[in-house]
Amino acid sequence: MPATSRRPADLQITPRQPSFDLAALMKKHRYWHNDDPVMTHFFNAMQATFPQGERFFIDSARDACTAIGEQNLDPQLRKDVKDFIRQEAIHGKAHDDWNEVLIAMGYPYMKEFDADIEKDRTWARKKIGAKWRISMTAAAEHMTASFARMILHKRPDLIDNAASPVRELLLWHALEEVEHKAVCFDLFQQLDGSYRLRATGMVFAFVDFLRHIYERQVYLLKQDGLWTVRNRIKLLTQVWGPGGIVASLAPYLLEYFKPGFHPWDTDERPVFEQRYGMEVKSVSAVAA
Ligand SMILES: [Fe+2]
Ligand SMILES: [Fe+2]
């Protein structure tokens, strides 16, 4: 069975080039997520992992293609890899800009955090084989797509409470994560495909992601003098409590451990179109 056989026939992975004036918003509305510093800094912390994270994903996809052999790749998957790389490169740039705004706002250590992941990324490319890195990348892509699914189906408040243009940036990124959610999974399946490595990749990627978010969120709150007992409890509740982010994400993340799982078992694209009025291109629309 070809690796792309479960891909929706009308799927078009579309790299878009929106621009967002985050500096203007954040200057006048520092706690842009419903005036809540804890949730605002959760998003500031999460997004700060993206620029280097997404470059890691791009490296992994390129190295997986080389290991598989370009000539052995299904032409559709080869095209999807190119579109995936273009999307992630644009995401990385948008999140670099977000980080720059944070640095200018008085969070200078965000630069060091970024440099640390960059060092790890360079090390990993030299020392860790393509199979392992694509397994972690496929898992990380499942996490970002699951985050998108979670905000659509369980926690639309996470979007609705974000002020513009962060709201639009989050929706744009979420839609593109959905569009390319299976690319690295299909590469992993073709390169290795073992259940053991797939599951191990998820455990590593999940723990690493949470650790990075936590250390950045704590720094941002400390820098504002808001690392108080009340906010520590709030952070634990919002992230780990009942109905919190991890609990809401967990059922989607756990689907990854089903032996026959594929990212296109579900399709979230219509919700972006119907609820948020976003343009989702499909192959027939592109051909028309
Ligand atoms: Fe991305
Ligand atoms: Fe992605």
Domain 27-114+124-287 matching CATH 1.10.620: the answer reads yes
> 166-209, pLDDT tens digit by residue?
999 999 999 999 999 999 999 999 999 999 999 999 999 999 99
271 CA distance to ligand 1 middle (Å): 19
170 CA distance to ligand 1 middle (Å): 10
108 CA distance to ligand 1 middle (Å): 24
The dihedral built from the CA positions of residue 69, 121, 213 and 210, taken in this order, carries a sign that is: positive
How do the domains of the chain map onto residue ranges? 27-114+124-287
> 138-177, pLDDT tens digit by residue?
999 999 999 999 999 999 999 999 999 999 999 999 999 9
49 CA distance to ligand 1 middle (Å): 11
144 CA distance to ligand 2 middle (Å): 6
Taking each continuous run of H as one helix and of E as one strand, the counts in the chain are 14, 0
Specify the pLDDT at position 286. 56
148 CA distance to ligand 2 middle (Å): 11
Burial class of residue 117 in the structure, from the number of CB atoms within 10 Å of its CB (0-12 exposed, 13-18 middle, 19+ buried): buried
What does pTM read for this prediction?
0.95
Mean pLDDT across 26-40:
97
Token reading at 221: 């709150």
What is the residue-averaged pLDDT of the chain?
A: 95
Specify the pLDDT at position 285. 59
Nearest to 40, CA basis, from 179, 144, 161: 161
283: pLDDT confidence band, cut at 50, 70 and 90? confident
- What is the residue-wise DSSP string for 93-158? HHHHHHHHHHHHTT-THHHHHHHHHHHHHHHHHHHS-HHHHHHHHHHHHHHHHHHHHHHHHT-THH
118 CA distance to ligand 1 middle (Å): 16
